[in-house]
Structure 1
Amino acid sequence: MPSAVTRVRAAHARIAAVDRPEIWIDLRPEADVAAEAAALDARTARGEQLPLAGRLLAVKGNIDVAGLPTTAGCPAYAYTPVEDSPAVARLRAAGALVLGTTNLDQFATGLVGTRSPYGAVRGAVDPTRISGGSSSGSAVAVALGIADLALGTDTAGSGRVPAALNGIVGLKPTYGLVPTAGVVPACASLDCVTVFARTLPEAERALSFMTDPAPAPPARAPGPWRVAVPHTGHLGGLAPGWAAAYESAARQLADAGAELREIDLTPFTAAAALLYEGAFVAERYTAVGAFIDKTLIDKTTADPALDPTVRDIITRARDIPAHRLFADQARLAALRTAAFAQLADADALLLPTTTEHPTLDEVAADPLGVNARLGRFTNSTNLFGLCATAVPAGTADGLPFGVMLIGRAHTDDRVSRIAGLLTTPPARIAVVGAHLTGQPLNGQLLALGAEFECSTTTAATYRLHALPTRPAKPGLVRVGPAEGAAIEAEVWRIPAAGLGQLLTTLPRPMTLGSVTLADGTEVPGFLCEPSALAADAPDITHHGGWRAYLAARGRG
């Protein structure tokens, strides 16, 4: 693995390349993180065991990081903690490096990622669409290959919806498994600290350092994994292609040996509606209502930049009568009994993580309606005291599609093992031209679930030519060691199915072959048929790469 300092430098280069400033609330200066990384490298060189050494961490802006303002998405609320929250401290103790704090739906109130004075966080694959929230910046930082790990919170789905919409993994542990000290509460009785990563093993490993000792999981009878699945006709309205994608995930579990059992989802969706439509939302007023009331009255207070949707949700909760809460608690208890009866001895419940991937404009036109739809399957999880693992499950209509496995309290490991049946190790692919970050065809990689790994160069055995294609792209050809040069490249990780799909759509004269990188490793990558290198395909090797060639022509 590259040194921690190298990884920090690469992360900041990636931050500049993707140009998504809305991801961050406070990004630490590169020099500060690099100095910390150098100290980390020195410790590992002395033989110190730091299992997460050099892993780069982004932290949601409602979780304390010592020395950085905790804003919860509201500048006027900010305070500067003197110590890390336990989750951050434990990851740092294992060697993780904090890059900064990330944007979120203000006071963690929302599943859209747009309710912030720091700007709406755009989706990683399609920037006209939302990122999902409230842990929006954390999810996109991981999805775009900037951070290896990120922390979020999940009360109603905030650690799962953005995972699904950005094609990454989100783990929502059993309530109380990760301490919530140093976390600005949304609903303190439900809040969970969550972790994002690009792969399930990475997420599980990080979570293992964050958790307190847990009770033994409930015993299970011998036999194959038992997975509850509702009929797709009972899921309600889903975006085009999503029902088929869900059915495909269910078949994949069955093909892997799981036993599928159809259940009635009604008690789960009925409980989901209670979270915002019932009296439980009053706990959000308990968390930050007094602050909001004061900033609305006290004209001497600096501009609080309160998001109007968040403000209205929380202030309306102030006037909910106590008798409604007791009635809703009784209603929830009955629904929990019915839901657990439906689960019976199932090890997990498989659901689409959310219902659709709306555009920014669609959320602006109907902020409450879209948000409610996005939480249809996630809102009940914490109300019922369950754990959940959200994982990518392919694409639908060219966008990431995700599912989640939900299980009883303290069956986190079991649920993740089942979710692992849906994930396969990604392939690697090297790109040198129009698929580079910021170039016209990069969206093809993102739509297929690809994730940025690193910037590098090829071995010095290649020539690069400018092809007369639309969009413009280069042709990479292998030559002898004395004739070639190193060419700028990026390495991406892509699901095996995505790599196959990319190959079927590759136009001539492009081919997919083995590319030798500067470190000597062989990676599949885009090459060019030598027959295409005619007079109208000039040799541009001396530029060192496609971006430099475009810049020289004033097209960078």
Structure 2
Amino acid sequence: MQIKPETTGWTLADWQLAQQQGQGLERLLALLAALDAAASQSADVAWIFRVDAAGLKSQWQALEARKAAGENLPLLGVPFAIKDNIDAAGWPTTAACPAFSYTAAEDARVVACLKAAGAVLIGKTNLDQFATGLVGTRSPYGAVPNSFDSSYVSGGSSSGSASVVARGLVPFALGTDTAGSGRVPAGFNNLVGLKPTRGWFSNKGVVPACRSLDCVSVFALTVDDAVQVSQILGAEQDLDDAFSRRSPQSAAVGMPERPRLAIPAQLEFFGDTAMQAAFEQARSELAQLAELVEIDFTPFSELAALLYQGPWVAERTHAVGALVQQPEAMDPTVHAIVSKGGEYTALDAFAAEYRRQELARCIQQQLQQVDALVVPTSPTIRTLAEMQQEPILYNSQFGTYTNFTNLADLSALALPAPFRSDGLPSGITLIANAWQDFALADFGRRWQQHLALPLGATDQAFKPSDVTSKPVAPGAVRVAVVGAHLRGMPLNFQLTTRHAAFVEATETAPEYRLYALANTTPPKPGLARVAEKGASILVELWDVPLANFGAFVAEIPEPLGIGNLLLQDGRSVKGFICEPLALGSAKDITHFGGWRAYIADLKKSQETPA
């Protein structure tokens, strides 16, 4: 009989509620006991190491002390797992190679960030050795099976992290992604896989695969949970990581109500008709939410081929070090790949880098014409038996729509998609230029809510309550607009051309009066806060990238300006205000409740604006 913890399929919100109810330690110990009981019946190869009860209580005691001291702990008591190429202080790091194993002296920066937020490390997970593979089978600790059908692969290299999240054991886990390792397992296990812009999350304390391309990734049951974790991991640039970068805070933070999504004009599924049919169904669903435009995929395919057919393999050789001289200590397929790194010369490296840059520029220009690219996460899936027959060929097929992403410096978000006819998951991946991670998440939320698939491989239904009100994206300013900047109004382009994203339509607190200003072109309103006889006025909220906010404000003419605006629900946001001097000659239009109603009345009566 399969033993399932009572917390199976819990999201961050569920765990946070348990903390509020004072059940945090009780639930964590129950989870650990259930994992131990299940392991006593049969080994769970998704785990390499797990915390014991003493270690769990030690983490909890430290958190209780910090909570009592008044620290802000947004992930208090939330359990998580990490791929075993990521360091945790006092834990072994093996990268799925026992001969490589060492005990970490300190936490990787990403682990330290999560612990600082109050999260509790439950265990370290299995992987394709040295993160070399998209299959989940290249490990001496065992091949991690698919969470829906154990005869199929789980995908890799972050196989164990995907498995423990898909089965609902933890609400999120960290993986890594160089060629698709944070996305393919998500697609094979009905998960969200967030592959961030390179350098957003620190790689300090992570065993490298290709150091110039590596990303720490996040697996979660919902887009909201993945975003919440990413905000913690990417809150600050890590100056101790030479590849860490700071966001320019100028990229889009959301998508239009009906975005333009590119899709490859020619798609390859390697004869997998079930995966092809599932993607066609996904395409039909996408067409309800977005405009789909076909593009030439040739540059993407050529760049993808460079990853394993070019000198970046030498980065893997460099990461493995002297172990490459000990083939008996390594997985045979991994060694066969990594050992080829020495065949490339410096001339090969520079030639490939020049071609990479040319293709990346071409790809980035293509993506500037759309809001994102959408592809199948993987064109096919294979059984464990099939992988033994063609371990390299089938692995290469899995990377058809993933290998190019980090080479081209792109952001990506893998999402659950309609299931195949055989009951296995399929997945789609949204891809955009660097730093558009929150824009991808914006559409990802809509997509997940649209399909409302069960969470991972659990029996938990996706609930509308799992989609919370959209937080302000880091690096953005939330602005309330009341007149000519509303959607469909003449100055709305000043927002959209600066990559601002519409958030919601709402109302001010009932403390304002609205006026039509005199002698303004195009017609503009003035909003004034009053001590009495105020009313709620309809406004729209937009998130403006911080780096573009100054240019937006610079275009605002007198007597208007930007100040603080109080909303009906108590939130305070930036918004348009008006100098009192201009209101004497203005027309009070408060009774219309908003600018749209006033403009509609003007058109109806064919009056000239005041």
Match of 1:277 among 300, 303, 309: 309
SS at match of 1:380: coil
Q: Secondary structure at the match of 1:404?
A: strand
Cα contact 2:95–2:130 (8 A) shared by 1: yes
Stretch deviating more after TM superposition (333-342 or 306-315): 333-342
Code of the aligned partner of 1:34? K
| Structure 1 residue ranges, 4+ long, deviating more than 6 angstroms after superposition | 220-223
The Cα of 1:222 is off from its aligned counterpart by: 7.3
Residue 113 of structure 1 aligns to a residue in which SS? coil
Aligned to 1:398: 423
How far the C-alpha of 1:416 sits from its partner, in A, is: 1.2
Determine if the alignment matches structure 1 residue 28 to structure 2 residue 51.
yes
CA 319–14 in structure 1, closer or farther in 2 if over 3 Å, else same: same
Tell me, in whole angstroms, the C-alpha distance in 1 between the residues paired with 2:194 and 2:405: 12
The answer to whether structure 1 residue 102 and structure 2 residue 125 are counterparts is: yes
Q: Conserved in 2, the CA contact under 8 Å of 1:111 and 1:158?
A: yes
| Alignment match of 2:363 (pick from 339, 355, 360) | 339
Superimposed CA distance per residue, residues 301-331 of structure 1 (whole angstroms, 9 cap, x where no aligned partner): xxx6310111111112112222222222222
SS of the equivalent of 1:112 reads coil
Alpha carbons 1:426, 1:493 under 8 Å: kept: no
2:190 corresponds to 1:167: yes
Aligned mate of 2:297, from 265, 276, 281:
265
Alignment of 1:328-407 (within 5 A): 328-396=352-420, 397-407=422-432
Amino acid at match of 2:361: T
Superposed CA offset, 1:486-514 (max 9, x none): xxxxxx313589xxxxxxxxxxxxxxxxx
What is the one-letter code of the residue matched to 2:300?
F
Q: Distance in 2 between matches of 1:86 and 1:135?
A: 19
Q: TM-score, normalised by structure 1?
A: 0.73
Q: Match of 2:288, as an amino acid? A: D
Residue 354 to residue 272, structure 1, CA distance change in 2 (3 Å): same
Q: Give the alignment's Cα RMSD to 1 decimal.
A: 2.4
Instruction: Give, in angstroms, the shift of residue 236 of structure 1.
Output: 4.4
SS, match of residue 49 in structure 2: strand
Corresponding residue number in structure 1 for 2:26:
6
8 A contact 2:144–2:153 mirrored in 1: yes
Deviation of 1:42 after TM superposition, in Å, equals 6.2
Q: 2:318 aligns with which of 283, 286, 292?
A: 286
Q: Which amino acid aligns with 2:94?
A: T
Q: Which amino acid aligns with 1:332?
A: R
Residue aligning to 2:461: 494
Once the two structures are superposed, residues 11-44 of structure 1 have per-residue CA deviations (whole angstroms, 9 ceiling, x without a partner) of 2244234745211111111332134235535654
Match of 1:141 in 2: 164
Is this contact kept in 2: 1:394–1:400, CA < 8 A?
yes
Percent pairwise identity: 46
Alignment of 1:47-446 (within 5 A): 48-211=71-234, 212=236, 213-218=246-251, 224-231=258-265, 233-237=266-270, 239-256=272-289, 258-293=290-325, 295-296=326-327, 305-396=329-420, 397-424=422-449
What amino acid does structure 2 have at the position aligned with 1:55? V
Kindly provide the amino acid, as one letter, of the partner of residue 307 in structure 1.
Answer: D
Q: Contact 1:7/1:54 (CA < 8 Å) preserved in 2?
A: no
Larger Rg: 2
CA distance in 1, matches of 2:268, 2:250: 29
Q: Distance in 2 between matches of 1:123 and 1:138?
A: 12
Distance change in 2, residues 1:275/1:251 (3 Å): same
Using a 3 Å threshold, how does the CA distance of structure 1 residues 452 and 352 change in structure 2: closer, same or farther? closer
Corresponding residue SS for 1:180: coil
**CA–CA distance in structure 2, aligned partners of residues 451 and 7 of structure 1:** 21
Q: Report if aligned partners of 1:426, 1:495 keep a CA contact under 8 Å in 2.
A: no
TM-score (structure 2 length as normaliser): 0.67
Residues 197 and 222 (structure 1 numbering): CA distance in 2 closer, same or farther, change over 3 Å?
closer
Task: Tell me if structure 2 keeps the 8 A contact 1:451–1:494.
Answer: no
1:324-375 per-position Cα deviation (integer Å, ceiling 9, x unaligned): 2222222222322332343342121001101122111011111000100000
TM-superposed CA distance for 1:189, in Å, is 0.3
Alignment partners' CA distance in 1, 2:43 and 2:250: 41
- Report the Cα distance in structure 2 between the residues aligned to 1:238 and 1:452, rounded to whole angstroms: 26
Note the alpha carbon deviations across 1:457-491, whole angstroms, 9 max, x for none. xxxxxxxxxxxxxxxxxxxxxxxxxxxxxxxxxxx
Change (3 A) 1:197 1:266: same
Aligned mates of 2:358, 2:457 — CA distance in 1: 46
CA separation in 1, counterparts of 2:93 and 2:232?
23
Contact 2:182 2:194 in 1 (8 A): yes
Question: Would you say how many aligned residue pairs link Structure 1 and Structure 2?
Answer: 429
Alpha carbons of structure 1 residues 6 and 223: separation in structure 2 relative to 1, 3 Å: closer
| Structure 2 gaps, min length 5 | 1-16, 237-245, 465-610
Deviation, structure 1 residue 286: 1.5
**Residue identity matched to 2:264:** P
Alpha-carbon spacing, 1:452–1:336, altered in 2? closer, same or farther (3 Å)? closer
